[in-house]
Each structure stands twice: as structure tokens, then as C-alpha cells.
Structure 1
Amino acid sequence: METKSYVAAILSELDNSSSQLADEQLELLVERIGEAGRVFVAGAGRSGLMMRAFAMRLMHLGLDVYVVGETVTRSLAQGDLLIIGSGSGETKSIVPMAEKARSLGASVAALTLSQATTIGELADIIIQLPGAPKDQLDDESSTIQPMGSLFEQMLLLVCDAVVLRLMEKQSLSGKVMYGNHANLE
């Protein structure tokens, strides 16, 4: 297969996956982000990179947002929101963060493959994303892509869609958001 054909196949998978999303849960996440004192994001590996991209866009919206683990991240408190991106919902470095957030009275949102996980059980809001769980990576019927690629792509797209919804609710344009873009580059 040509490279261009793989791009078409990936786009087809993403299109099919978008119909599996629960809009009610996405709207809950949008509302909770708007109500949160501060927003914290966490994830590991490629999921972590997608969450960092999400944090950047939330910052462009003018929100008080932090990436867990960065040296400039403030302390989480009651009224804040921790948003976790974890396909497995069992990431050993992330589970304690969700537990700590709950103990401090913060809300937890999980973008994950299944709600029947440790992180899913700790979350107030669960956005279930399509993708192949680690124990089904050899099942080529779920995705042609390797490892967690489908989940990670859906994670980025869903986060971008949440940003678009927040922009709509706040009547913000990309031009206005650009005023928060880094200018020391």
C-alpha cells in the first residue's frame, strides 16, 4: 500500500471513531473546565504529549492551566480540575495523581479507553475514546495502526474539539487567542 493510502485509512478510522463519542460527557468536560479554578493535565508517553498540546490551547484561551510534573506547576486544590489522558486507565505514575486530586477535593476527568479501570473509577467525568487496549494490540480488526496510535490521535482531536466548544461558549476567535501565544520565540 502507498503511504497516501495509509493516510486515507487512518482518516477513515478516525471518522468512524468520532461517531462513538458520547456528546453528553464531552459537554460535562467543557462545563467543568469553565467552572474550574485551575486546570491541570496529566498523561504519560504519547498520551502525555497530547495532553501537553491541550494545555497549550487552554492557556491560549486564557485559562490558568498546568502540566503535572513541570517545575512551574502550582499545587492543586479544591475546586480545581485534573484532566488525565490514559488509554489503559492504569498508568502507574498517573493513578496516584488521581487519588491525590480526589483527596484534595478537586475534580478528575479521564479520557481513556474504558471506564472500568482504576483511573476511571476515580474520575468524576469519563470520556471513553475508541482505540485498541494493550491486550488487544494484535487484533487487527480494531485498527490498522500500531500500538496506541488511534487512541492518541482521538485524544488530540477530542481535546481540540473541546477547545473549539470553549471558544464558541466564550465567543473567542483564534485571532484573540493568538494574543496569549508565546512572544519570546
Structure 2
Amino acid sequence: MNFTVTEQKIINEISRTLDSISTDETEVLIEQIKKADRVFFVGVGRVLLSLQSIAKRLAHLGIDTVVVGEITEPAITENDLLIVGSGSGESAFPLAIAKKAKAFHAKVAHIGSNPNSSMKEVTDYFIRIPVQTKLNLPNEIASIQPMTSLFEQCLLLLGDTIALILIENENIDMSQLWEYHANLE
């Protein structure tokens, strides 16, 4: 395969997956982001990298975001939202953090592939990215890419889509966003 053929296959997978994400679930998440005093993010591995990008993008919109584990992480409260990224919903660290957040009465949103995971017991909101898992669940979108690449890509693009919706719905002047951009670079 050459580059053009391969990149088109990947783009088609991403497009098909993003088209399969529930608009209703996404709108609920957006409302919860707007209501929260702070939005915390937790995940592991490449999922964490996508979540860090989403946290940074939302911070550019003036939303108070925190990545769990940062040295300056404040206490979570009942006024906050924890967004958990976990395709399987079974990753030990995000699951433990979600349980702890619920103990402090924070809202928990899970973005994942498996709607019936262990995360379900502590999740207030679920946004499904219906990509292929090792569980072979119904309606999964198969991928030619290795492991969970399609999940991480769509997670990142879901975050950017949410950011653009917030910009449009809140009538945010994009030229004003630079005030939130890092300036010690």
C-alpha cells in the first residue's frame, strides 16, 4: 500500500466512527462541561495523550481543566466533572479514580467503547466511541490500524468537535482565545 491509499482508509474509518457517536450523548457532555467549576481528565497511555490535548484545548476556551496526577492538581468537589477516557472501561487506574471522584460527589463522564464495563457503576454520563475492542461487542467499527489507534484518534477529534461547538454556541471570538494560550514558549 502507498501513503495515499492508506491515509484514505484511515480517514474513512475515522469519519465512519465520528458519524456513529451519539449527538445526544455529546450534547449532555457539553452541558456538563459548561456547568462544572472544573473539568478533570483521567486516562492512561495514548488515551491520556488525547485527553491532555482536549484539556488544553478547553483551557484555551477559558474552562478550568485539570489532568489527574499533575503536581498542581486541586481537590475535586461536587461541583466538578471528571472525564474518564477508557475504551474498555476496565483500566484499573481510571476506574479507581472514577470511584474516588464519586465518593467526593463529583459527576463522572466516561468516554469509551464498552457501555457495559465496570465503569458503568460509577458513571453519570457515557459517550460511546463504537470502535473495535477485544470484546467483539455489537456494532463495533472494525479498524485496519493497530490496537486502539482508532479510539485515540476519535477521542481527540471528539474533543476538538466539542471545543468548536462551545466556541459557536457561546459566541466566543476566536481571536480573543490567544489570551489563554501559553506565552512562556
Write the letter of the residue equivalent to 1:164: L
**TM-score when normalising by structure 1:** 0.94
Deviations along 1:74-122, one digit per CA (max 9) or x if unpaired, are: 1101110000111111111111110011111100001100110111331
Matched residues in 1 for 2:73 and 2:135: separation?
34
**Paired residue total:** 181
Q: Which residue of 2 aligns with 1:90?
A: 90
Matched residues in 2 for 1:18 and 1:157: separation?
8
Q: Which residue of 2 aligns with 1:31?
A: 31
Moved over 2 A (4+): none
Q: Which runs of 5+ in 1 are unaligned?
A: none
Q: Which residue of 2 aligns with 1:117?
A: 117
Identity rate, percent: 38
2:19 matches 1:19: yes
Q: Which residue of 1 aligns with 2:157?
A: 157
Cα pair 1:134 1:147 within 8 Å, conserved? no
Aligned-residue RMSD, C-alpha: 1.2
Matched residues in 2 for 1:60 and 1:84: separation?
20
Write the letter of the residue equivalent to 1:175: S
The alpha carbon displacement at 1:50 in A equals 0.3
Write the letter of the residue equivalent to 1:174: M
Matched residues in 1 for 2:174 and 2:86: separation?
28
Q: Which runs of 5+ in 2 are unaligned?
A: none
Matched residues in 2 for 1:174 and 1:133: separation?
37
- 2:92 alignment partner, SS class: coil
**TM-score when normalising by structure 2:** 0.94
